Every structure is written in structure tokens, then in C-alpha cells.
Amino acid sequence: MKFTPLLLASVGLAQSFYSPTDSYAPGSVDCPSEDTRIVRKGEGLSPQEKDWVENRHEQTRPELLNYLKRVGFKSVDPDQFLGDDTNITIGLSFSGGGYRAMLAGAGQFAALDARTPNATEQGHVGGLVQAATYLVGLSGGNWMVGSVVINNFTTIPDLQHSSDVWDLEHSMINPGGINIFKTGSYWDDINDDVNDKQHAGYNTSFTDIWGRGLSYQFFNASNTARLTWSEIQNYDHFKNHSMPYPIVVADGRAPGTRILASNSTIFEMSPFEVGSWDPNVYSFARTEWLGTNMTNGKPNGTCVHGFDNAGFIVGTSSSLFNQFILQLNSTGVTGVVYDLAHSILKRLDKDSDDIAIYSPNPFKGLDYLGNNSISRTDYLDLVDGGEDGQNIPYYPLLQPERAVDVVISYDNSADTDYYWPNGTSAVQTYQRQFEKQANGTIFPYVPDVNTFINNNLTSRPVFFGCDVQNLTSLDKNGYTSVNSSAPLPPLIVYIANYPWTFFSNTSTMGKLSYNKNEVAGMIENGYTTSTQFNGTVDPDWPVCLGCALLKREATRRNQSLGDDCDQCFSKYCWNGETDDDAEKALQFAPDIYANGPNVSSNASIGQASSTSKPKKNGADLLMPGMAAMVIGFAALLM
């Protein structure tokens, strides 16, 4: 597939959602007719999403059938099982974790994508992107999702080898390298863009600058300043339903607070809508109308387009600058750098410049919300979607309204002392279901984080929630009853970052640039993470993944998937065993798998070697590069 320029993707459109100012500043447009709802109550899917998903299923059904036949699925006859009208709703979920999550996630995504060279060879799992209905990203994982989607659903190899995007040789702070004139011009342009928005009467913050910088790295367009998230509606692949439905996740921060609890409000942003299923919001606003001043869901006068800038949306999901304030004392940074950073961060905190500001608040004055904090405030404070500990964006895919059958999730978090994941994200989502904010959603039982490590649940895929009858004690609404009309909660496929071919455990904040060899190594390792070393660790993995995809439908029918799938479930379903030895878990520091068994990789993404095994320390929270970014961004705001 050739890399498709953005501007060609929108030729001949009846309605454009680009900023009408042709700049980063939102602009005034005519309001929709009075019978058009800009804000709706969260009762079911929007008509737009519902219609889109129905059309998407017309394509996912044959693609799933192709996958099952290709991998030799024989437990049941795929043609008979799927028939002409059985839809298996698959969600793909990519965790946060900065450039580590973006690049590792890129390889993981590429392995699922039939367009990637060799991805449909024996032992590989290509074709599941084509069979998936939803694609969800958070923070760094959403940098990958956003890069693919905004560039008209391009491929990972095209992004990796493009001369226009994903140039990570130099950091966002100094993109010109030794060319100080290029870097100076870059910062001048960003400053002008943010000033345009501010002069148009909108609040700006770190996230505006951050988002503009991300746009330069990730989006291939002559004018990234006018790009909007809602414009995805007009992209060929989205209109043709030939891509999964993209969703971005961010967290809401209550006014006047800093720390996010596990029950903080989770917001989702799609091309159609922005909102939350949580009971304190339970509302959705049309994405293209963000920035419009509304009361009780109706415009107060002039309407606006262009607030939902694509870089701003992607930046919101990775807006973690408030964490610098919370963690500064534990960084180990001292002296002049500490004093300067402390002074700047305190100023930013006071002015709420450390978060993403969505003002005006589209949910202000909604009568059915009563007098809660969301309906009272003039603005929404949104931050990195992983700040509540749920670094894998499961929540949109747990909603019964979406009836997701299986979530294939990738954990590229840095939980351990060596920057490897330990299941914290899954544990946090499991625990959140007992909070009022969860609104009745169900997440299956998972073990403690020490068990994740000690029982090798991060060095191989694991399925959670295989037997839906074991979830009945978590169920308040009949979602686990096969006799109920309510959808069953999804089966969770959990796959963690692991060093198959490369040490992919890089620092989230301490490493802001990657040379081409490192990019290739990170992507290659992500690919082999998805495929279990391209089927060499377990040749049955592609079939076993197929078993997971069909499990919920088989449960609804009270039908067995046969001996092959039974063996797969015995191998991959969590058996409930635990080992909570914390001292043992602390020793987890895996070596590169390829350095052991005599195996080789045949993926064509590109290979690289690594001998580094970084260890986390407090200073990583404010490394010199990140400190320079904080100070530089602050200078533009002050």
C-alpha cells in the first residue's frame, strides 16, 4: 500500500470538518438545524456509530473467515459456524508508554495487519486488523493509532520508511539537530499556532504545544494545524468501513485537584463523539462541535468547528505534565534544575496549564446531571488516559452497548524496575468495576501483579474470563447469563511487552529520540510479541487465538469448539493459580529470548540488535531532555 497524503483523502467532500480558519484556531460556522442533537444522553450507541458498525461487520465477517481458514482452524467448520449473519465483534487495545508504547505497539499492530509483508504466512496472525471492529489507543499507544488513522489508515512499514513522518532521530525539543535554524523555525511556528488559538478567545495549555509537536512527527500533511479528529469521518477507509472504528481514551481531572483516583472519569473520543459512560457524565457531544458554547446541550449562539484538532486530541491522551508536579521530589533532580523546574511547574499548576483544557464544557448545564461538578464547570480538565493506573484502554470495549466478544490487548507499560509490564493495568481495571463509576461494566478476574510476573503471564499470552459462568459473582445486570438478551462481557486476551529479539523496555520520559536501528528493533520485537516469535514458540498460537475469538459466540449457543480449542484453553486460559511472592517478582529482568533457543525471525519489518538493559530510577521522571521540554513549553506560555 502506498502512503496516502492526507489532502488527497478528502477531495470532493460534501462537508469538511477542518478548522474554518485554515489554522490551529477554531472558527465560527453555522449551527446545525434545531432538530440536530449536539449532546445526547449516554443511552446506547449513537445512531452514527451503530450504523457504521453494522456496515463494518459486512467486512469483518469474511475477513475473520479468511483468517480462520488460513491458520487451519478445524475445531469447527468456520463456514458453518459464522454462516451469513454471525458477527464476532473484536476490539484491539494498545496501552500507553510514550515512544516505547508507540513503537512496540506498531510492531504488534503490524503483525495483526494482513497488509504487512509476510503477516499472513504460516505461524503469523495477519488479518485480525481487517477482522476487528474497534481500535482503541491511549497515550503512546494512541500515537501509533493516530499515526495510522490520520494518515488515511496507512501501514506500519509505510510509516516506518516514510521521509515525512516518524523521524525520531532527534527529539521533539530539537527536531533540527545541529540545524538550529530549522529548530528555531519549528518553535516559531508552534508558538504562532498556539497564539492563534489564544487570540481567538480559547484557553491554551501545555497540551496545545505538545499536540502541535506531535503533529509534526506523526501526521503527513502540508497544514497539520487545521487537521481535526472529526475529519476522519471523511477519510476513504472510514467512509468505506475498511478500517476499525478508532477511539482515544483520556482521564478527567476534577476541578481543583491533582491526583487521579482509580474511579476518575474516563472519557473517550471517536470521530463522531466525545464523552463518557461514567454516571457523572453519561453523555456524548458531537466531536466536530467541540468549542461551541452550550447550555443543556444546545448552542448559545454561534457554533464552532476546529477545536478538535487532531494533534490536540492525540496530545490530550498523553498529557501527563501534571505528573511532573506530583513526582518532582522523587526524581533525584537537585540544584538549579530542580529550583527552576519547581518554580515553573508550580506556576503551571496554579494556572491549570499542566493539563488539556476543553472549554467551553459541552456538558455544562445538562439538566439530567443535576448539580454535579461536571455540569457546573465552564471547562473540562483532561489528562493522560493512563494516569488512573488503567494504562490499557479497556473501558470503551467493556460497554455492553458495544457487545464486544473479545479484546486483544497489548501491555507496553513500564511497571517494574526494568520498565517491563506486570499486569497493573489489568488489575486496576478489574478493581474499578466495584466503584460506582464503572456503571455495571464487568472485567474478569485477574491475579495480583506479583503473580503476573512469577507465573510467567507477561512472557506469553494469557486469556482472562474464558468461562463466563465464573463471572456471575461480578454480575449485577445479567450480563453473564446465556439466557439473557444482554451481551456477554468480552474475553480478554492479554499480551505483554517482552524481549523476544530486542530490549524494548525503554524509558517513557527518559528516551525521546530513536535512531533507525532502534526503531526497527522496537517494531520487530513488537511483531514477534504478537506472533510468539512467528509461531516458533507455539505453532498452534494462530489457531488458539482463533479459539478465543469464537469463544463467546460458542457460549451463547452452548456449543463446544472441539478438542483443539479445549487444548488451547487449557494452555492459555488463566487457571486461577497465584504466587504473590514480591521478592521473587522483583528479580524479573528477562534476557533477549532470541539469544537462547536457536530460532530466527522472518518478519520483514526490519531487525536490529540491542545490548542495553535499562533500569528505572527516579531521575527518569525528569530527565534532562524532558526537563528542557517542560521549561521550553513553559516559556511559550508565559
Tens digit of each residue's pLDDT (9 = 90 or more) over 118-129: 999 999 999 999
Among the residue ranges 410-424, 557-571, 611-625, the one predicted with the least confidence is 611-625
- What confidence tier does 611 reach under pLDDT thresholds 50, 70, 90? very low
Rg (CA), the chain: 23
- Whether pLDDT at 442 is above 80: yes
Using CA atoms, how far residue 45 sits from 32, 35, 53, 135, 401, in Å, is 21, 18, 10, 16, 6
* Average pLDDT rounded to a whole number, residues 295-314: 93
- What confidence tier does 3 reach under pLDDT thresholds 50, 70, 90? very low
* Average pLDDT rounded to a whole number, residues 620-631: 51
The whole-number pLDDT of residue 242 equals 98
- Whether pLDDT at 324 is above 50: no
Q: How far apart are CA 309 and CA 307, in angstroms?
A: 6
What percent of the residues of the chain are helix, what percent strand, and what percent coil, each to the nearest 5? Answer: 40, 10, 50
Using CA atoms, how far residue 614 sits from 241, 355, 610, in Å, is 42, 29, 11
Among the residue ranges 200-214, 315-329, 382-396, 577-591, the one predicted with the least confidence is 315-329
- What confidence tier does 335 reach under pLDDT thresholds 50, 70, 90? low
Sheet strands (E) in 429-585: 462-464, 491-496
Give 439's contacts (C-beta < 8 A, 6+ positions apart). 277, 278, 279, 282
- What confidence tier does 512 reach under pLDDT thresholds 50, 70, 90? confident
Q: How far apart are CA 318 and CA 210, in angstroms?
A: 9
Query: For residues 434-463, b (16+ Cβ closer than 10 Å) or e, as one string?
Result: eeebbbebbbbebbbbbbbbbbebbbbbbb
The whole-number pLDDT of residue 334 equals 54
The whole-number pLDDT of residue 267 equals 97
* Average pLDDT rounded to a whole number, residues 195-203: 95
- Whether pLDDT at 198 is above 50: yes
Q: Which amino acid is at 472?
A: T
DSSP character at residue 169: S
* Average pLDDT rounded to a whole number, residues 405-421: 97
Highest mean pLDDT among 180-194, 345-359, 371-385, 425-439: 425-439
The whole-number pLDDT of residue 338 equals 53
* Average pLDDT rounded to a whole number, residues 86-96: 98
The whole-number pLDDT of residue 259 equals 52
* Average pLDDT rounded to a whole number, residues 39-51: 97
The whole-number pLDDT of residue 11 equals 38
* Average pLDDT rounded to a whole number, residues 49-66: 98
The whole-number pLDDT of residue 63 equals 99
CB 187 within 8 A of CB 209: no
The whole-number pLDDT of residue 314 equals 95
Domains of the chain, first to last: 6-637 (3.40.1090.10)
The whole-number pLDDT of residue 491 equals 98
The whole-number pLDDT of residue 326 equals 44
Angle among Cα 442, 446, 451 to the nearest 5 degrees reads 170
- Whether pLDDT at 480 is above 90: no
- Whether pLDDT at 255 is above 80: no
Among the residue ranges 82-96, 453-467, 469-483, the one predicted with the least confidence is 469-483
Highest mean pLDDT among 76-90, 244-258, 353-367: 76-90
Residue 73 backbone zone (phi > 0: left; psi -120 to 50: alpha; other: beta): beta
The whole-number pLDDT of residue 221 equals 72
pTM: 0.91
Among the residue ranges 307-311, 400-404, 596-600, the one predicted with the least confidence is 596-600
The whole-number pLDDT of residue 603 equals 40
CB 407 within 8 A of CB 492: yes
The mean predicted confidence, pLDDT, of the chain is 87
- Whether pLDDT at 482 is above 80: no
Among the residue ranges 95-109, 533-547, 610-624, the one predicted with the least confidence is 610-624
pLDDT higher at 206 or 506: 506
Q: How far apart are CA 274 and CA 293, in angstroms?
A: 15
* Average pLDDT rounded to a whole number, residues 622-637: 53
Percent of the chain with pLDDT over 90: 68
* Average pLDDT rounded to a whole number, residues 381-401: 93
* Average pLDDT rounded to a whole number, residues 173-188: 84
Helical axes 562-572 vs 541-557, angle rounded to 10°: 110
- What confidence tier does 254 reach under pLDDT thresholds 50, 70, 90? confident
- φ, ψ of residue 211 to 5 degrees: the values are -65, -35
